[in-house]
């Protein structure tokens, strides 16, 4: 199981939201770069980095902080939040992001996804499937898209997408465990699924492995000390 720590940026700080609610924000650290460097020092090989302000507004809002992290750590970084054009995607990939993560754009600009896959290849393009009661959310999870996960997922596979992050918004930040039922269904397809939302224990990670999930993003459980970084990454040093 590859455990990927999450850094969510808002106003230049590391925060965690509960169920994607910007009004339920908790500041975890004022220095995102030091947080990223800490995870790397603990042995984490990858990082999930999200510009929450960008996701909400539709354009990057923490570019200076993001650039510092990309250029000052050895982490392989998958980066999302406000990436809704070829130009922004290319800028981040050229700065050093291993992959860009698109959510809103995947639903509103399907041609953009095809163009990015053609130009950069399927390993560098990740689609974020963020669902609330089966409906995919957009604009920093503040709006519903009117589109169902089970309708959109097969279409993205047909377009050539092979990397996905799935989040059950109702579980995100709650430490109540992941949505194993949906994850199992997604994992049955020929693609990479990264689990996100609600993961809080070693037992959760073991359950994910049992259903065929080998990648998991963890945020609040790490910041709250629910999982021990040394046990997660010591074999990867």
Whether the predicted pLDDT of 136 surpasses 60: yes
55: Cβ contacts below 8 Å, ≥ 6 apart: 80, 81, 82, 103, 104, 139, 140, 141
The domain segmentation of the chain, as residue ranges, is 2-236
Q: How confident is residue 72, by pLDDT bands cut at 50, 70 and 90?
A: very high
Is residue 237's pLDDT more than 70?
no
- What is the pLDDT at residue 230? 83
Position 231 scores a pLDDT of 87
Whether this prediction's pTM lies above 0.85 is answered by yes
Residue 235 pLDDT greater than 60, yes or no: no
Give CA–CA dist 16/20, Å, rounded.
9
Superfamily name and number for 2-236: Aldolase class I (3.20.20.70)
**What is the average pLDDT value for the chain, to the nearest integer?**
95
Residues classed as catalytic: 8, 130
């Amino acid at each position: 199981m590859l455990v990927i720590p999450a850094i969510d940026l808002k106003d230049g700080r590391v925060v965690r939201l509960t169920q994607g609610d910007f009004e339920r924000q908790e500041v975890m650290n004022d220095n995102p770069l030091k947080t990223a460097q800490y995870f790397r020092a603990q042995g984490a090989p990858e990082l999930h980095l999200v510009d929450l302000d960008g996701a909400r507004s539709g354009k990057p809002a923490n570019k200076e902080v993001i650039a510092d992290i990309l250029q000052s750590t050895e982490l392989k970084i998958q980066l999302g939040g406000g990436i809704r054009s070829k130009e922004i995607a290319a800028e981040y990939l050229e700065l050093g992001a291993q992959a860009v993560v698109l959510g809103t754009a995947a639903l509103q600009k399907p041609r953009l996804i095809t163009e990015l896959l053609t130009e950069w290849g399927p390993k560098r393009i990740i689609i974020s499937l963020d669902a609330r009661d089966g409906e995919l959310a957009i604009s920093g999870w503040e709006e519903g898209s009117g589109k169902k996960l089970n309708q959109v997922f097969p279409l993205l596979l047909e377009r050539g997408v092979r990397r996905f992050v799935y989040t059950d918004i109702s579980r995100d930040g709650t430490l109540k465990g992941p949505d194993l039922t949906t994850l199992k269904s997604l994992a049955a397809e020929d693609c990479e699924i990264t689990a996100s939302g609600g993961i809080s224990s070693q037992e959760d990670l073991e359950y994910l492995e049992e259903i065929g999930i080998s990648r998991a993003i963890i945020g609040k459980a790490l910041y709250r000390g629910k999982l021990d970084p040394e046990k997660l990454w010591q074999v990867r040093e």
